[in-house]
Amino acid sequence: MRWKIKEFRDGFWARKTTGLSAYIRRACIWPEGPGYDVSYKGLTIARILFENKGATVKTLKMCKSFPEISNLDLVEIALRVNKLRSAASASLN
């Protein structure tokens, strides 16, 4: 695992120590609520939804086409993005 997350344009850029990278961008408001889309190789593979202080990852069908990114990777990305969001909102207060 070990993803490094950096703020990038309108979202975040995630890079794994093995060289894989994904783009996490703020998504439109989905029926489940606001969140972020995780894109890998230009395709959206998962959605991260935030409720209260936690995060939920919803994988999309396209995710099965990329076994190099596991569900654990997506959970780690979600937790790190949630931590960055929390830190940013705390600094605004």
**SS3 category, 70:** coil
Least Cα distance to 43 among 58, 20, 60 occurs for: 60
Host domain of residue 7: 3-92
Interval 37-77: pLDDT, tens: 999 999 999 999 887 777 889 999 999 999 999 999 999 99
Interval 74-89: pLDDT, tens: 999 999 998 887 776 6
**Using an 8 Å Cβ cutoff, are 1 and 16 in contact?**
yes
Domain count, the chain: 1
Give burial (CB, 10 Å; 0-12/13-18/19+) of 24: buried
**Using an 8 Å Cβ cutoff, are 22 and 37 in contact?**
no
Top pLDDT among 86 and 2 is at 2
